[in-house]
């Protein structure tokens, strides 16, 4: 692992959002408010059951934290009246945060990640510098705080290397429409267009950047917090990342397979052997051999994103892969 020249000397917290979508009590509550589903054809992604399916990914993600990111200060798990059965909530690093602690009382209950994420900066006791991940994101190699923040405190914002095309917003679903809107708003308000799509993984933020962004558009952020399910008018946390790059001095880092290759010899070796060192990798669940993809890219972080096309067989393979990568029980477990 490369030695960092600029040492980070401030605490960095980790925030997760988590839900047990298999919980019948929670499902009954969600179904009470769920928009009517189409009886035939495609179910929109924002109300598809895959958004809430529980495969114990958080348990393996926390194992990856203990193995590869022991420097993390505190870990906040944001939930809706739930707690993983296996979690030792008395662990000194762990704190369960209920939606009622951060979201407006008249907004509850909410089932939209946009709404929940719009309020994570309100977590009581959260440090100025924090990283945020979903339960399907994992550390894949040893990390340091300097992989997420510069010594001056500015975040490192990871995006996909290719430019985001406006046609995807016109023809795509909710995610792409909201993403394009966030890019446009930041360009209009802060003077710089960041036209790259976020690389879905563990992202770095400053609490003060969140506060400035909310203060710039308070009505829009409040409306998002009150949206039980995703809408095309939502604000999204990538707005904060784009703001950080456009106006607050954050570093824009384009993810590719060579991110952590630091000298010409290693680059030539990677080109000939097909074994790389990426910052981040999305391991697609339909692949038959996850280890092959993981070993090829040797990612600092990786995600295994469950979606509407994921089969039960895919989920079983994913859990087996995670168990093989993180076989040892962490101190966060009972």
Structure confidence by residue, pLDDT tens digits, 208-261: 999 999 999 999 999 999 999 999 999 999 999 999 999 999 999 999 999 999
- Closest-CA residue to 286 (of 268, 258, 263, 309): 309
Element (H, E) at 57: helix 57-68
Give the pLDDT confidence score for residue 48 in this predicted structure.
Answer: 44
Residue 6 counted as domain residue: no
Q: Tell me 84's DSSP state.
A: -
- The per-residue pLDDT of the chain, averaged, comes to 91
Helix (H, G, I), strand (E, B) or coil at 207: helix
Give the pLDDT confidence score for residue 271 in this predicted structure.
Answer: 86
The rounded average pLDDT for each run of 10 residues, N- to C-terminus, in the chain (334 residues) is 68 97 90 69 45 80 98 98 96 98 97 97 98 96 97 96 78 87 96 92 97 98 96 96 97 94 89 91 93 96 83 90 97 98
The count of domains in the chain is 1
Give the pLDDT confidence score for residue 165 in this predicted structure.
Answer: 75
Give the pLDDT confidence score for residue 37 in this predicted structure.
Answer: 53
Residue 254 counted as domain residue: yes
Give the pLDDT confidence score for residue 40 in this predicted structure.
Answer: 47
Q: Could you give the angle at the alpha carbon of 303 between the alpha carbons of 302 and 309, nearest 5°?
A: 145
Distances (CA, A) of 13 to 77, 114, 225, 277: 11, 20, 23, 25
Residue 220 counted as domain residue: yes
Annotate 153-163 with b (16+ C-beta within 10 A) or e (fewer): bbbbbbbbeee
Give the structural domain span for 22.
12-325
Q: pLDDT tens for residues 278-295? A: 999 999 999 999 999 999
| Cβ atoms 127, 72 nearer than 8 A | no
Crossing angle for the helix pair 312-325 and 290-297, nearest 10 degrees? 50
Tell me how far the alpha carbon of residue 158 is from its chain's centroid.
11
| Cβ atoms 180, 169 nearer than 8 A | yes
Residue 332 counted as domain residue: no
Give the pLDDT confidence score for residue 310 in this predicted structure.
Answer: 77
Distance separating alpha carbons of residues 189 and 318, to the nearest angstrom: 42
Residue 234 counted as domain residue: yes
Residue 1 counted as domain residue: no
Report the CATH number at residue 234: 3.90.550.10
């Amino acid at each position: 692992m490369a030695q960092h020249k600029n040492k980070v000397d401030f605490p960095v917290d980790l925030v997760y959002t988590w839900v047990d979508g298999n919980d019948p009590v929670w499902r009954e509550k969600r179904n009470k408010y769920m928009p009517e589903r189409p009886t035939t054809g495609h179910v929109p992604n924002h109300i598809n059951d895959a958004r809430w399916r529980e495969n114990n990914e958080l348990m393996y993600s926390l194992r990856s934290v203990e193995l590869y990111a022991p420097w993390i200060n505190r870990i906040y798990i944001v939930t809706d009246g739930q707690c993983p059965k296996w979690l030792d909530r008395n662990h000194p690093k762990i704190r369960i945060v209920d939606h009622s602690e951060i979201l407006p009382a008249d907004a509850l209950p909410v089932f939209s990640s946009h709404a929940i994420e719009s309020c994570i900066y309100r977590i009581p006791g959260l440090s100025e510098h924090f990283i945020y991940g979903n339960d399907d994101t994992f550390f894949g190699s040893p990390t340091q705080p300097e992989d997420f923040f510069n010594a001056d405190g500015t975040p490192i914002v990871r995006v996909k290397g290719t430019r985001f095309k406006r046609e995807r917003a016109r023809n795509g679903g909710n995610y792409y429409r909201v993403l394009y809107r966030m890019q446009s708003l930041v360009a209009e308000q802060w003077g710089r267009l960041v036209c790259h799509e976020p690389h879905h993984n563990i992202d770095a933020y400053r609490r003060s950047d969140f506060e400035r962004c909310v203060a710039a558009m308070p009505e829009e952020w409040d409306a998002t917090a009150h949206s039980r399910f995703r809408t095309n008018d939502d604000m999204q946390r990538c707005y904060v990342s784009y703001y950080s790059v456009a106006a607050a001095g954050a570093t824009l880092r384009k993810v590719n397979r060579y991110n952590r290759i630091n000298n010409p010899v290693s680059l030539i070796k990677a080109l000939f052997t097909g074994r790389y060192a990426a910052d981040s990798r999305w391991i697609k669940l339909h692949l038959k051999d996850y280890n092959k993809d993981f070993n090829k890219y040797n990612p600092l972080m990786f995600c295994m994103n469950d979606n509407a096309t994921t089969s039960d067989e895919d989920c079983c393979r994913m859990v087996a892969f995670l168990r093989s990568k993180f076989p040892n029980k962490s101190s966060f477990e009972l």
